[in-house]
Amino acid sequence: MTDNNTELPQYPEPFWRSTLSFPSFPKVESDIQTDVLVVGGGITGITSAYLLAKQGVQVTLIEASEILNGTTGHTTAKITAQHGLIYDKLITEHGEEKAKLYYEANKEGMNIIKGLIDEHSIECNLSTQDAYVYANTDEYVNKIRKELRAYHKLEIPGDYTDNIPFSIPCKAAIIMKDQAQFHPLKYLMALTSPILESGGKIYEHTTAMKIEDGAKPTILTEDGHKITCNHVIVASHFPFNDEMGLYFARVHVKRSYVLGVKTKEEYPGGMFYSADTPSRSLRYTENDDGEKLILVGGEGHKTGQGISTIKHYEALQDFSSHYFDVEDIPYRWSAQDIMTPDDLPFVGPSTPNHPRVLIATGYAKWGMTNGTIAAKILTDRILQKDNQFTDLYDPARLDGIKNMVKDNTDVAKHMIQGKLSILHKKPEDIGIDEGAIVKVNGDKAGCYRDKEGQLFIVDSTCTHMGCEVAWNSGDRTWDCPCHGSRFSITGDVIEGPAVEPLKKIR
């Protein structure tokens, strides 16, 4: 531990949401017919709804909670085609042509964002920044060199340096110039007005539970309403209709952490990502008074499988205090990312048998550009326009069998471990602001006692496929180690694939 004397905020809250007020949208209260239904109010959902509404398509967007409150509201919002050390890997896994196409896709995602900001004069703190990926260990210095060779092969502009403008140790780095950063929620909030002005509809607090795919897809909501459409875009981060493509067995979910840090020294500019482990990410943002805040990110791990999660925030706090003169840490938050087995997102029909049910997921940590290009690919498909990136991102490229075996082994391990672990704790043993799995009437239950002493007890069996959830002390949530579902202390779903809440226990 370092000698830092700054406290972490007691509760997680992303900087992006704290600085804006949001309009609220109604719930779906009756059956609806629409041309396209978009499920999910993050960057993919809102961009898709915008692109369709502008083309005169009747579009309806529904969100289970409030728009921009999921992964998009918890991002670090780097708009870049530099995604860590990816291009050498993509050449090995997919060949040069596809690796180059991935770069082009993300560059186009960036250009779409910049174009829309320009077209609508959106004030969202857009600024051009150079992106750096850097390393300090010999192993990763070699990887940086290989990555630079990949840039040269693919004709991606990149400069080599052995210096970054911090005291953070660095032996090698690649700079991708003229990338960008912004305030993602100011940008996306501004896109909701043109959606509504073009006749689109937005609903909140409307959870999609199931898709019945016949002549037309029909989406059933939690309240029993039916939404019938010609196409549905599932932009719910983890596809809520995962049974259609067995996505629960084809992807895995990672959690990472961010601190918003005020420092005495000036931030030199630039967006940084360390290739070594544990990874670290840096960029700055500013509040409405022009005060700068450094966003320090990293500490990724599989959801529900980390050490006590508050330790991840503490590791970032130590890092910040070690390399910066920290004045205050006003924000902390965490984000969930979905990883595919071959490092390319899944964007396209859920399965070839369901061509009208379109999904977009698996952006790893790079959702700003990937989420935007995903919206373009899906809306071009609906508008029957060609898109050069369709095949690259098509979920049908993988049959999932290889990954399914690996992932199911992991899932089976957690299912068995969770069910067999012996418990000694009872609800009365749980202290203030503590959460743990306890024994209630002979069964396992998740128990949390809040600051006022009130107990919240839920069935600890995940409603997705039955794994045991684990307590996340950093965010005060119940997280599932199998496919990453997350639940509040009262059992409500925060993130899928689960759609049903954990049962409350009296």
DSSP 326-389: EEEEEEEEEEEEEE-TTSS-EEEESSTT-TTEEEEE--TT-HHHHHHHHHHHHHHHHTT---TT
* Residue among 167 and 409 whose Cβ is closer to ligand FES: 409
CA neighbor of 127 nearest in space, from 283, 273, 258: 283
Provide, rounded to whole angstroms, the least separation between the CB of residue 137 and ligand FES. 34
- Of 39, 118, 131, the closest CA to residue 79 belongs to 131
Whether 404 contacts 246, CB under 8 Å = yes
462 binds ligand FES (CB under 6 A): yes
What six digits make up the tokens of 443? 């069964």
| 494 counts as binding ligand FES under rule CB under 6 A | no
Q: Do residues 290 and 150 lie in contact, with contact meaning Cβ atoms separated by under 8 Å?
A: no
**What are the angstrom distances between the C-alpha of 398 and each of 341, 344, 347?**
9, 11, 12
The one among 329, 498, 499, 505 contacting ligand FES by CB under 6 A: 498
Draw the binding track, 225-254, toward ligand FES (x: CB under 6 A; -: no contact): -----------------------x------
Rounded Cα gap, residues 500 and 207, in angstroms: 10
499 binds ligand FES (CB under 6 A): no
Q: Tell the smallest beta-carbon distance from residue 234 to ligand FES (Å).
A: 17
How many chain residues are in contact with ligand FES, going by CB under 6 A? 13
Q: Which is nearer to ligand FES, 219 or 480 (CB)?
A: 480
* Closer Cβ to ligand FES, 398 or 465, answer by number: 465
465 contacts ligand FES (rule: CB under 6 A): yes
Question: Roughly what angle, to the nearest 10 degrees, separates helices 367-382 and 96-119?
Answer: 90
Question: Do 303 and 481 form a contact (C-beta atoms < 8 A)?
Answer: yes
Site for ligand FES (CB under 6 A): which residue of 183, 283, 464, 476?
Answer: 464
Angle in degrees, 0-180, between the axes of helices 96-119 and 87-94, rounded to the nearest 10: 130
Site string for ligand FES, 416-455 (x = CB under 6 A): ----------------------------------------
Among residues 156, 176, 482, 502, the one that binds ligand FES under rule CB under 6 A: 482
* Cα-based distances in Å from 32 to 40, 59, 225, 241, 455: 17, 11, 8, 19, 40
Residues 80-139 that bind ligand FES (CB under 6 A): none
By C-beta, is 147 or 222 nearer to ligand FES? Answer: 222
Q: Which C-beta is closer to ligand FES: that of 41 or that of 481?
A: 481
Nearer to ligand FES, 437 or 498 (CB): 498
Does the protein bind ligand FES through residue 487 (CB under 6 A)?
A: no
Map the footprint of ligand FES across residues 359-418, applying CB under 6 A: none
CA distance 479 to 459: 13
Q: Which stretch binds ligand FES (CB under 6 A): 175-183, 379-387, 401-409, 476-484?
A: 476-484
Stretch that binds ligand FES, among 45-53, 96-104, 384-392, 457-465 (CB under 6 A): 457-465
Q: Can you list the positions of beta strands (E) in 150-194?
A: 159-161, 172-181
| Beta carbons of 3 and 317 less than 8 angstroms apart | no
313 CB contacts (<8 Å, ≥6 apart)?
Answer: 8, 257, 259, 299, 332, 474
**Contacting range for ligand FES; rule: CB under 6 A; set: 2-10, 58-66, 376-384, 479-487:** 479-487
If binding is defined by CB under 6 A, does position 497 make contact with ligand FES? yes
Report the DSSP beta bridge partners of residue 455: 449
Bridge partners, residue 442, by sequence? none
- Region from 93-101, 104-112, 220-228, 477-485 binding ligand FES, contact rule CB under 6 A: 477-485
Separation between Cα atoms, residue 87 and residue 496, nearest integer Å: 30
Smallest separation (angstroms) from ligand FES to the CB of 303: 9
- Binds ligand FES (CB under 6 A): choice among 173, 375, 438, 480: 480
- Choose between 39 and 68: whose C-beta lies nearer to ligand FES: 39
- Contact between 321 and ligand FES (CB under 6 A)? no
CB neighbourhood size of 121 (10 A)? 7
The DSSP code for 274 is E
Report how far apart, in Å, the C-alpha atoms of 459 and of each of 95, 275, 339 are: 47, 40, 28
Would you say 245 or 484 has its CB closer to ligand FES?
Answer: 484
Q: Which of 485, 487, 502, 505 binds ligand FES (CB under 6 A)?
A: 485
What H or E segment, with its residue span, contains residue 301? Answer: strand 292-302
The distance of closest approach from Cβ of residue 6 to ligand FES in the complex, given in angstroms and rounded to an integer, is 35
- DSSP character at residue 249: G
Q: Pick between residue 200 and residue 304 the one whose CB is nearest to ligand FES.
A: 304
Segment interacting with ligand FES, rule: CB under 6 A, options 31-39, 198-206, 398-406, 480-488: 480-488
Give contact residues for ligand FES (rule: CB under 6 A).
Answer: 248, 462, 464-467, 480, 482-485, 497-498
